[in-house]
Structure 1
């Protein structure tokens, strides 16, 4: 009966922990969604203004090429950032729906957990069995370690997906490197150079990287990392902005893609450092788990 109760408590505790995680994830996602929707409105307004300015300049100031080129850059920056923002909003809306649906599975978990803890307390007060108390302590430790392992593996999985997506961006940019002319958006106002499909591939991959980075950041918030581990979250969140700014600068000034490549390398190295730390943490948690489970086995066998 005691083992079954502990098992039920551990199960309830895991569900309670997941519910709190979901509530936090949902709150952060809603906040991020609200931020992005506000940003989308601002960027859309900027986009419309810049496009009007650019079209006006192209129609009436064709002889002032320098000013027109500046407006092209501003329009490109606004268009790229606006597209990225819209992509993030779509992802965040889907995540919000998913978290709300899963939260429905944990409506009464607090009450269930409290009832199980009351039963556990009554059993403990009925006697003074030191082995039983130690078994309870170890069981709780095992559950905490399993939770840590689960969260660390989720963060590792998210980080690996980011790393793979960054490799795809890198591959596209390397293929495009050396082409002296290519068109970032294609057609219409900005059709001033021959379109190169590899740049389009890179843009598509960057949207995916930004989406996966958002997931990775949220997963990292649930795990414990070394105190000396510097997580440059700001650079992750603005990855797409940095990438596109570098792409625009290289397109206009150098007809190369050096800045965007440097941004990919820096982000990739940061992700790899985090993955190494997560792997070390996972090894430590798994070692502690084996030790705790061995101790539980010893106590149970000695009681038989």
Structure 2
């Protein structure tokens, strides 16, 4: 009877912990989605305005003709196109983030609607009443000790699961950051050729192609870090430790990197600075991964200690 109650309690405890984790993640992700939608919409309005400026400048007018005769028209048009392109890159990044977060919210909602979480609160209340009745009839020091060991084991296994998920997310973040830095290495080499060795039109086109490709890799790194951040929040709740990534460098990377990126004299410096920022974030992730590995080893040792305590009681 006691073992049956304990098995059901362990199962329900694990489900309840998982349910709370999913609910919290859903709340956090929904809030991020709302903020990102606002940013995307703001960028869309800004992009529309920039595109209208380009169209207006392209239309015939006496003012435009005078600017063209004085050589200012080409300069103005180039500036307007560059500004529109910069905003377009930021808007595209925000749209990708909205799609990612929308899919994440939908997945979390579907997870919470699974049968495992139906009537879980009612089942828990019924179990507590049944267990209370059993303890009143069968109270003993040994039973109380075994109960505490069992409760501690559930707690530690829950922490181990959270740390494992966070560690896996960290590995994905490290791979994504490495991919982004590799792409920027390529862009930096081409930029050096173009800036200092006079690469010409073809090299300039190749440079901007690499920059556009870097945008996708940086986005993947941002997405991986966002997931890592969420998993670390779960670990902090479970392990009462502080695990924080100084992610500001990369989460503001797109805004900073693509400002005036089409001004040739700034490109090489921006790429070099961008690599340094990504490297700093990567080192931060590695430090946290090492801490997670040490924490996981300590929890695994605690499980072995609890198992030995239980064996000692049962065999005595």
What band does the TM-score fall into relative to the shorter chain? 0.7 to 0.9
Cross-structure match for 1:206: 218
SS in 2 for 1:194: helix
- Whole-Å separation in 1 of the counterparts to 2:132 and 2:287: 44
Deviating beyond 6 angstroms after TM superposition, the runs of 4 or more aligned structure 1 residues are none
SS in 2 for 1:295: helix
1:222 aligns with one of 230, 234, 239? 234
Assess if the C-alpha contact under 8 Å between 1:76 and 1:248 holds in 2. no
CA separation of 1:270 and 1:195: change in aligned 2, threshold 3 A = same
1:163 aligns with one of 156, 160, 174? 174
Q: How many pairs does the alignment contain? A: 293
Assess if the C-alpha contact under 8 Å between 1:176 and 1:198 holds in 2. yes
Cross-structure match for 2:197: none
- Whole-Å separation in 2 of the counterparts to 1:210 and 1:249: 23
- Whole-Å separation in 2 of the counterparts to 1:77 and 1:31: 27
**Which runs of 5 or more residues in structure 1 are unaligned?**
183-190
CA deviation profile, 1:52-92 (whole Å, cap 9, x unmatched): 22454567456346655654553333212211111111111
- Whole-Å separation in 2 of the counterparts to 1:46 and 1:149: 46
Cross-structure match for 2:266: 253
Cross-structure match for 1:78: 87
Assess if the C-alpha contact under 8 Å between 2:37 and 2:98 holds in 1. yes
- Whole-Å separation in 1 of the counterparts to 2:203 and 2:263: 15
Cross-structure match for 1:185: none
Assess if the C-alpha contact under 8 Å between 1:33 and 1:89 holds in 2. yes
Cross-structure match for 2:112: 103
Assess if the C-alpha contact under 8 Å between 1:10 and 1:143 holds in 2. yes
1:154-193 alignment runs, 5 A limit: 154-180=165-191, 193=204
Cross-structure match for 1:88: 97
TM-score, structure 2 as length reference: 0.83
Q: Does 1:48 align with 2:48?
A: yes
Larger radius of gyration: 2
Assess if the C-alpha contact under 8 Å between 1:243 and 1:263 holds in 2. no
Q: Does 1:287 align with 2:298?
A: no
- Whole-Å separation in 1 of the counterparts to 2:146 and 2:153: 10
Q: Which structure carries more helix by proportion?
A: 2
- Whole-Å separation in 2 of the counterparts to 1:299 and 1:76: 71
CA separation of 1:125 and 1:238: change in aligned 2, threshold 3 A = farther
1:125 aligns with one of 136, 139, 142? 136
Assess if the C-alpha contact under 8 Å between 2:86 and 2:261 holds in 1. yes
Assess if the C-alpha contact under 8 Å between 1:172 and 1:201 holds in 2. yes
Alpha-carbon offset, residue 242 of structure 1: 4.1
Assess if the C-alpha contact under 8 Å between 1:16 and 1:109 holds in 2. yes
TM-score, structure 1 as length reference: 0.86
SS in 2 for 1:248: coil
- Whole-Å separation in 2 of the counterparts to 1:227 and 1:144: 15
- Whole-Å separation in 1 of the counterparts to 2:81 and 2:288: 38
**Which runs of 5 or more residues in structure 2 are unaligned?**
195-201
2:252 aligns with one of 235, 238, 255? 238
| Root-mean-square deviation (Å) | 2.7
Q: Does 1:273 align with 2:287?
A: yes
- Whole-Å separation in 1 of the counterparts to 2:267 and 2:245: 32
SS in 2 for 1:222: helix
Cross-structure match for 1:186: none
Worse-superposed segment, 96-105 or 134-143: 96-105
